[in-house]
């Protein structure tokens, strides 16, 4: 598809999005959601809400490191830890999150598949042209996290980080309807990029925000996206330098969603051999998704 045809298709898709939803103050609503999930309310109300949430989404609370009755807010439960051994870290490259694989495949001329017929740019996703070039002919996997999923992101391989890249943006929902309707959804939404240097080549883990995702945080430094003050700040993509260059082991925690969203994982050219078991559908943190190729 040439650029003219792609632009026409994108415009036609956008016309199908209700104007009321396009004008919805999505960032404000997301900030408010983040606030409401952390606000202190009577414990009996928190527990009633959590029990309803667990029943509705069939959450396996036995995997949590703490009993349900010990959580003091919805956000505490959304960002819960898992008990030791609940997610064994497998061999090779592993899934960085619990969720579902929605798309995967080759990065063709710097483009990633969003959904059949819709593509987006690696350079725009990473918001760093020199970084995007490293993945022009690489491989990608997209993971969707739903509200009941474990909300932390972990390292898919061992590697080094010296900075993150925060890209402010929109907060469209990332459900299947939105993915099929909003062209370039993942490059429009707010995101945090983790550029990982490994002995085999470049890897990038991208945490993509979404409507009602209160924030994206990281244990690597004092950073949290989508703060109330961000509503009044106009800022482009910017680097967040870590206190020191960090070597993180495979399976180590690197980020947190304060509700579900999407992670896009990118590998450099001829760097990874995807597992034959990799397919669209549910996946758990630590499951093998491929092998790093030797030089």
Distance between alpha carbon 232 and the CA centroid of its chain, in Å? 24
Contact 145, 261 (CB under 8 A): yes
DSSP class of 58: T
Report d(CA 183, CA 95) in Å as an integer: 26
DSSP class of 34: H
Which is it for strands 238-248 and 159-167: parallel, antiparallel or unpaired?
antiparallel
Place of tokens 């030797």: 294
Report d(CA 68, CA 75) in Å as an integer: 13
Place of tokens 């495949």: 105
In sequence order, the β-bridge partners of residue 154 are 253
Helix (H, G, I), strand (E, B) or coil at 49: helix
Cα separations in angstroms, 64 against 61, 82, 99, 151, 208: 5, 4, 16, 12, 24
Catalytic residues: 98, 154, 261
Record the tokens describing residue 50, joined without a space.
């959590």
Report d(CA 289, CA 295) in Å as an integer: 19
Contact 265, 141 (CB under 8 A): yes
Report d(CA 255, CA 192) in Å as an integer: 9
Cα separations in angstroms, 82 against 49, 60, 138: 20, 11, 32
């Amino acid at each position: 598809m040439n650029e003219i045809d792609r632009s026409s298709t994108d415009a036609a898709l956008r016309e199908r999005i209700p104007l009321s939803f396009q004008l919805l103050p999505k960032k404000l609503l997301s900030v408010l959601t983040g606030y409401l999930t952390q606000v202190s309310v009577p414990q009996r109300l928190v527990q009633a809400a959590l029990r309803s949430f667990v029943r509705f989404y069939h959450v396996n609370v036995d995997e949590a490191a703490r009993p349900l009755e010990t959580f003091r807010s919805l956000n505490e439960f959304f960002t819960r830890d898992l008990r030791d051994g609940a997610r064994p870290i497998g061999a090779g490259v592993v899934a960085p999150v619990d969720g579902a694989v929605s798309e995967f495949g080759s990065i063709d001329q710097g483009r990633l598949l969003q959904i059949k017929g819709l593509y987006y740019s690696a350079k725009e996703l990473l918001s760093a042209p020199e970084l995007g070039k490293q993945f022009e002919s690489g491989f990608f996997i997209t993971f969707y996290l739903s509200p009941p999923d474990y909300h932390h992101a972990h390292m898919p391989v061992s590697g080094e980080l010296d900075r993150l890249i925060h890209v402010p943006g929109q907060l469209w929902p990332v459900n299947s309807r939105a993915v099929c309707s909003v062209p370039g959804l993942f490059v429009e939404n707010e995101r945090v990029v983790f550029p990982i240097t490994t002995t085999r080549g470049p890897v990038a883990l991208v945490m993509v925000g979404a409507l009602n995702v209160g924030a994206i945080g990281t244990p690597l430094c004092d950073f949290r996206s989508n703060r109330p003050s961000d509503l009044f700040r106009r800022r482009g993509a910017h680097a967040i330098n870590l206190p020191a260059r960090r070597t993180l082991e495979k399976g180590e925690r690197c980020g947190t969603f304060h509700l579900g969203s999407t992670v896009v994982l990118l590998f450099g050219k001829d760097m990874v051999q995807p597992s034959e078991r990799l397919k669209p559908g549910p996946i758990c943190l630590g499951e093998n998704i491929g092998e790093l190729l030797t030089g």
